[in-house]
Structure 1
Amino acid sequence: MAIAKLSTAPRRQAATEAKRERILDAARQIFEADGLEAASLRGIAAAAGYTPAALYFHFDSKEALYAEVLATSIARLAEAIGAAASKRDEPAARLSTAALAFFDFYAENPRDLDLGFYLFRGGMRPKGVGRERDKTLNAALAAALSPIGEAARALGADETAANLTVADLFAHATGLLLLAHTGRIRMFGASARELMVEAVERRTALLAKGDAG
């Protein structure tokens, strides 16, 4: 009997994990379509082919589900930035490559950008997924962006200047991505990526002069 129980445990675990992944896949589809506020656990359960009660076995709220979906997205972002930065040894090239990898990830995956802006869906009145989950997600995003700060420090920036470099390039990227994905970049007859390249070059030049703070 004990042997039988041991042999079925891995299968049971695999089934549980498969069910959890199916729920997360359905949740991402619903969140992409409806956003955090309009989505419901009932709708996610229906899309996954389960009852709402089945979802509660894995996630205690739609906020918990959203946080898990977004965490997976940020992990993919971190992998893309890290892989790109690891191919460059010279700090200026590493900073440029990391910053553009951030831009390119969201340029190629606009729904991931939508997920990342969950705080402002429905207007400029931020609503999160809970204080602790917000902190965890922000920490994951900061870690994903860390190759930019590390490259800035390798160029001689102190901690303040390195953090400002990350903030500056993050702001440029997200603003340009918003213009690109809404089509408003056409108002200016410009290329969002070319403007991002210019922003990176300006910031790198400031770092080289020791004037990035």
Structure 2
Amino acid sequence: MAETMRGRRKRAVTELRRGLILDAARTVFERDGLDGASLRGIAAEAGYTPAALYFHFDSKEALYAEVLGQSLSALRDHVDKAVEGAATPEAQFRLAALAFFDFYAAHPRDLDLGFYLFRSGMRPHGLGRERDKALNEALEAALSPIRQAAEQMGSDQETARLAMADAFAHASGVLLLAHTQRLRMFGAQARVLMERYVDVQIGQLLMKGERP
């Protein structure tokens, strides 16, 4: 049965409220961190009562997971678009790795979000086993074109996964140094460093793939 006009309006209002809550949650997380945030504070930022907030989300961890999930979805879209039409595995590896880097270079607060750095410091955080699993899978999906390209260059699955992890670790490290302006002491440009790393990795993967 086709959706009624009343049903469509109700769904639109629900989606609008949910979006406003998520925007407010991100603002609060940026200001107070995950530890300092509260559903009451997020509700106040959104202009709703805590009871209204509970209708959509049952905890601040659920909200953080949703905000981070949206960020990872945007990351994946950015990487997937970058590798469209890549003519060779080498091109796909390069485009995917640099797209990952460029996304977070342009959106440093998303990098903070991914590492739970909003006023929380560099220490392990979690949002619950199921949420952590889903978010880790979303991150891996965004990085998967790197792994796939490595496999197409002749790497076994383990080597390809390590190449994907290495690209993630290297990009994150360079971005951290760039956003904290620590690279100034070396007179280095962050993207140039990332490009050099990618070229070296591609060369190494091709050499390994040629071995008997």
- When normalised by structure 2's length, the TM-score is 0.93
Which amino acid letter does the alignment assign opposite residue 139 of structure 1? E
1:121-140 to structure 2, matched below 5 A, reads 122-140=120-138
Residue 120 of structure 1 contacts residue 126 of structure 1 at CA under 8 Å; is this kept in 2?
Answer: no
* Total equivalences in the alignment: 208
- Which runs of 5 or more residues in structure 1 are unaligned? none
Give percent identity, aligned residues only: 61
Residue 150 of structure 2 contacts residue 160 of structure 2 at CA under 8 Å; is this kept in 1?
Answer: yes
Report the Cα offset of residue 81 of structure 1.
0.3
Which amino acid letter does the alignment assign opposite residue 68 of structure 2? L
RMSD: 1.7
Report the Cα offset of residue 53 of structure 1.
1.0
Residue 119 of structure 1 contacts residue 126 of structure 1 at CA under 8 Å; is this kept in 2?
Answer: no
Structure-2 separation of matches of 1:122 and 1:143: 26
Greater Cα shift, 140-149 or 120-129:
120-129
- When normalised by structure 1's length, the TM-score is 0.93
Moved over 4 A (4+): none
Residue deviations 1:153-179 (CA, integer Å, cap 9, x gap): 111111011011101111110000000
- Which runs of 5 or more residues in structure 2 are unaligned? none
Greater Cα shift, 129-138 or 117-126:
117-126
Residue deviations 1:101-133 (CA, integer Å, cap 9, x gap): 000000000010010001796234312111110
Residue 120 of structure 1 contacts residue 127 of structure 1 at CA under 8 Å; is this kept in 2?
Answer: no
* Inter-CA distance 124–7: structure 2 relative to 1 (3 Å threshold): closer
**Residue 78 of structure 1, aligned match among 66, 76, 79:** 76
Q: Which residue of structure 2 aligns with residue 95 of structure 1?
A: 93
Residue 80 of structure 1 contacts residue 105 of structure 1 at CA under 8 Å; is this kept in 2?
Answer: yes
Q: Which residue of structure 1 aligns with residue 196 of structure 2?
A: 198
Residue 42 of structure 1 contacts residue 52 of structure 1 at CA under 8 Å; is this kept in 2?
Answer: yes
Residue 103 of structure 1 contacts residue 173 of structure 1 at CA under 8 Å; is this kept in 2?
Answer: yes
1:155-166 to structure 2, matched below 5 A, reads 155-166=153-164
1:29-48 to structure 2, matched below 5 A, reads 29-48=27-46
Q: Which residue of structure 2 aligns with residue 65 of structure 1?
A: 63
Residue 119 of structure 1 contacts residue 127 of structure 1 at CA under 8 Å; is this kept in 2?
Answer: no
Structure-2 separation of matches of 1:125 and 1:168: 20
Residue 24 of structure 1 contacts residue 69 of structure 1 at CA under 8 Å; is this kept in 2?
Answer: yes
* Inter-CA distance 89–211: structure 2 relative to 1 (3 Å threshold): closer
Which amino acid letter does the alignment assign opposite residue 202 of structure 1? V
Report the Cα offset of residue 142 of structure 1.
0.3
Which amino acid letter does the alignment assign opposite residue 164 of structure 1? L
Residue 29 of structure 2 contacts residue 37 of structure 2 at CA under 8 Å; is this kept in 1?
Answer: yes
Report the Cα offset of residue 33 of structure 1.
2.1
